[in-house]
Amino acid sequence: EESPDSASPKPGEGPAASSSKVVEESKPYGINCLVEIFAFLTSLVSIEDVTDSEESCIYGLSMIRVALEAGLADFSLFPELMNVIRDDLMSNMMRIALIPNLAILSMVCSIAFLLYTHLRSFLRLQFEAFVTNVLLRISDGEYVSYEQQEIALESLVAFSRHPTFMVDLYANLDCSIDRGNVFEAVCNLLSKNTFPSNSQLASTHLLSLEGLLAIFNNLLERSKQQVEFKPKEFKDPSESSDAVWLPPPTSDFVSWAEQMKYKKYLKRRIDVGVDHFNRDPKKGFQFLQSINLLPQELTPESVARFLYTARGLSKNVVGELLGDPKEFYLKVLDYFVTLFDFKGMSFDHAIRRYLESFFLPGEAQKIGRILEAFSKRYYAQCPGIFANADAAYVLSYSLLMLHTDQHNDQVKKKMTVEEFIRNNRKINDGEDLPEEMLVDLYKSIATYEIRIQADGNKFDLSHAQWVDIVKRSGTPQGILVSCTMQPVFDYDMFALIWGPTIASISVVFDQAEDESIVQYTIDGFLSVAHLASVLHFCDAIDNLVISLCKFITSLTPKASESDAFIEDSKAMLALVTMFCIVNQYGDCVRNGWRSVIDCILKLHRLHLLPNKVTDMEEVRNTLRHSNSRSMNFNKNANLQTTILQSVSSFFSSDSAKEEEVKSPEMEEAEKRITTYIESCHIEEIFTESKFLEAESLKHLVSALIWSAGETPKGIANSEEEEERALLCLDLLISTTIKNRDRFHLLWSDTFNHLKSIIDSATLLSPLVEKGVFGLLRICQRLVPYKEDVADELLRSLSLILKLDAKVADILAAQLFAELLHLVKGSPDRIQTEFCWRTFSAILRVGAHHLEASPAGFEILEIFVHGAEIKEENLVPLLDAVQAFIEGHAGGEDQSMKAMDQLMNVVSKVKAWPASDKLFGYWVKAVNVAKQACTDSRPQVRNHACVMLQQILLSSYSMGHTGEQWGDVMKNVVLATVNTLVTHVKKRKQQEYPDMDKTARIAVLMLSKAFLQFLPSLADLECFSDIWLELLSILDLCNSCSSEELSEAVPEALKNMILVMATEGILHPGWTDSKNINLWNVTWQRARSTSPNLEPGMLKQYTG
């Protein structure tokens, strides 16, 4: 829209104002001539009416471009020339760029690029206006031709390629509290333009993508400086200060850059406050006060500064507050108007600039107060025009009424200029204002409506706003601080651009049919991934991976495994690209691991997953019957090279898609697919996971567990779910083993997953089997290597005990073979009582299993011989030994060998220091042998009696007290012999064959034990009871009618009597506490045993 001529702004002060005077004085054609010529050329670049031709405009643009190319940066030496560029040239260029002439638009864009390249430091606000109101407006494509949009996008791409243009926009505009987010708007527009509306790619879509990737390439170039990127965490101000709203000094670039980054943080916080303010001003103020952007006690100055500076405020709300009659808001209005600089501005421009900053409220009194404040300010800053402020007030009100009259459609009879002049007579302190001034005001108001930029309108720029821009260009606010190649703002810029860029690349990749375009998008994916890894932007890598995976997981299985990829070649390209990114930048992958695992599972369902993934060494043979699919692959491939080759290969094989019969081309395509998948090195994700960052590794493990799905008690709902769970479990086990140095990071999740599979499993399934042996495989690999984790790992074996008996029975043979392998590799790692009890419980189960028993017994032997017998493991070991003694699975030989192991245990226990506790443990071992003496198998019983005798006789030196030996005699020796003799008496020959032979051995054991313990027993009060019980048992033996016993008992009794007589224990006066003569009782029982046993045999001892 055409605008009224502006008053020429005052010349700005340049860096070489004094030198320009020297040039002017020393040469006949000085700066004034140059300014006049350049101003004339600029005047050609304007189409004010129909008499101005587009040809002259093009001519003027051509000459201006020549002049700029000749002068380059030297224009900045002359403030007069810069004033022409800042105002007339930029203003005219912005207006003519919007006319539908492609040549003019192209030349305007090229001149703007020249101006940025050489004079950008002086054109900060002008370039904000040009980018926003020309490039973005035309590139948006609304209300312009396709060709215009294409030229504007080409210009944006050219600007984007410039190393500093985008970072200059971001640092100088997006980070400024009072300026718009121009860089963000450019990126969003380019991203939006890449999405085809009719599903066909056009040049505008590709240009937009090119612009986005050009920005990325500049960021990538700066990232090569090896700067460590650590985003600073900003905090809200500790106290309110006006400095928040003011630009920082530009003398030191590093300091300025840091402050601008902080301004960007505050800008985001202010935007939140603005959102609250537009809905409820009170809540908006409260929020800004809570973060110290406004003082805790609001002041008129702080509120006015906020209303003047903050962008995005509702102009209706601002107008209502400024017109509020409360005393506080009256002061706000007074301070608000002082923030405007009306110096040198015409009354028309000043009131337009003022009224365009808010919507006038509807009440006349409010309008009056607002106009009165303006009038006072204008009168104070522009003396000589009005006699007093009242005159300015009356005229401003009159102009407002004229504006309503001229631009309200309901007013049929419009005010004439004469009427306007008549209405304003004698208002200047009784004098008339100049008629020429009133006529100009009338024409301006009647012709050009005061347009208030509506909330959210991003393209409208009024002439009053342009005058304000030109005016501020000569101040520090107009200076653009050009950013160097230091990547100071790159992290923040990347945070804004990566999302739209990835979405744009994805849509173009999806729609592209041309090979070069597809390759361009893949290069874009890799560039974004590289930069994201340099900046350690994990969200971007995740988004990239997820975007690429969407092209893969949508595939459906075909009759042939490769058909799915042949029909969708882009899925193959996406697959290779995705795995290239994951393998190179896996440290930055977080939630993206879930999509990666989904792709691996997809390949598995299509039977295309390489054998190197499904048959990793760490999980090999964890199923008793392997049905893994084997494939042969080439081991050497470069991912980047493969991607480059894959594009042309797939596009050259399109003809094969149409053939129903598998042709040589189809077979060749299948071979390429196999090669490409193998070149992805999928297995390295897991085999090389030990090099991943801890956070990435944790997410990988979580993704495997999540992808496995829920399988309560190890039962999947379908075969497909089971295959998925099995593969995920394999990969989880392999990853855990590979990361043995970071065991504690992963074990909790891994163990809980294994527990969910194994715990309470009632049916055997491949998943349960894999879980059990996977757990054992982890223990086998990590227990010997990591002493500090051995206990925690071995504790986990308690899960095996929770298996259902039927399931455990099926797995027992292989389970004990794996346990034997574990124990052989680390016999000294079992330390705690819990672990010993766990192993003992497992061994007790194996002792009764025919196939598992040999391996179980070998484990027991390793424990007995290799382990140090301590309090923590004695009882568990004894329990295990007893189980193998009693178990029939290993035969009689194994049971007898188990008793030998019992003897070995006792031998080690005997070395312990004497104590009551030691006696208790020793008795437990003795009781194991005692229990074995009643075994149903003759050889086992007999061997047990011999072992019990050896244990008793060899242990006498342990230092037990007489009372303790008395207990052993009664509760072990006598009880054992009595039980055996009772079985003989009851003739339980079928149940206990050859029991009389065992009883004979027991009687001999009784005799030897009694004689061994006699010195300790003789002084006991209960000795007489022990002796009487012994005699009763021997009487019982005589009543059994057993040849074995009839031979053994007399001899045993004779030996005991002789020794007792020799020791002086047995004599005629021997009585017990009840005055029973034990001498008489002994001989009475002896005679019943054998007639040869008479007191006379002792004459030589008794006299």
Residue (of 110, 67, 112, 71) closest to 90 by Cα position: 112
**Inter-CA distances, 844 with 816, 853, 947, 1086, Å:** 12, 9, 21, 46
Question: Per the residue annotation, which of 363, 431, 720, 1043 is the catalytic one?
Answer: 363
Is 210 assigned a catalytic role?
no
Cross-strand pairs, 1071: 1077
The three-class DSSP label of residue 918 is: helix
The three-class DSSP label of residue 721 is: helix
The three-class DSSP label of residue 247 is: coil
The three-class DSSP label of residue 867 is: coil
DSSP state of 132: I
Where do the DSSP E strands lie in 684-774?
none
C-alpha angle 942-944-1000 in degrees, rounded to nearest 5: 40
Which is it for the CA torsion 841, 847, 850, 856, positive or negative?
A: positive
- Asked if residues 267 and 256 have their Cβ atoms less than 8 Å apart, the reply is no
Question: Within 13 Å of residue 704, how many CA atoms lie on the same side as its CB?
Answer: 24
- Asked if residues 20 and 80 have their Cβ atoms less than 8 Å apart, the reply is yes
Neighbouring CB atoms inside 10 A of 1041's CB total 11
Which is it for the CA torsion 275, 279, 281, 287, positive or negative?
A: negative
Q: Where are the alpha helices (DSSP H) in 739-870?
A: 743-758, 766-782, 787-795, 805-825, 833-846, 853-866
- Cβ neighbors of 180 (< 8 A, separation 6 or more) are 128, 132, 173, 174, 311, 458
The three-class DSSP label of residue 455 is: coil
Phi first, then psi: what are they for 428, rounded to 5°? -95, 70
Which structure tokens are listed for 1103? 């006299």
- Cβ neighbors of 279 (< 8 A, separation 6 or more) are none
| Gap between the Cα atoms of 18 and 695, Å rounded | 62
The three-class DSSP label of residue 164 is: coil
CA dihedral 680, 684, 689, 695 (to 10 degrees): 0
The three-class DSSP label of residue 771 is: helix
Type and span of the H or E element at 496: helix 490-511
- Asked if residues 1010 and 1019 have their Cβ atoms less than 8 Å apart, the reply is no
Three-state secondary structure readout of 89-131? HHHHHHHHCCCCCHHHHHHHHHHHHHHHHHHHHHCHHHHHHHH
- Asked if residues 994 and 935 have their Cβ atoms less than 8 Å apart, the reply is no
Residue (of 139, 84, 86) closest to 109 by Cα position: 139
- Asked if residues 300 and 339 have their Cβ atoms less than 8 Å apart, the reply is no
DSSP state of 561: T
| Gap between the Cα atoms of 856 and 842, Å rounded | 9
CA dihedral 448, 452, 453, 455 (to 10 degrees): -150
Cross-strand pairs, 204: none
Angle between helices 327-338 and 315-322 (to 10 degrees): 110
Helix, strand, coil fractions of the chain, as percent rounded to 5: 70, 0, 30
The three-class DSSP label of residue 980 is: helix
**Inter-CA distances, 233 with 203, 253, 258, 287, Å:** 41, 20, 12, 20
The residues assigned a catalytic role are: 363
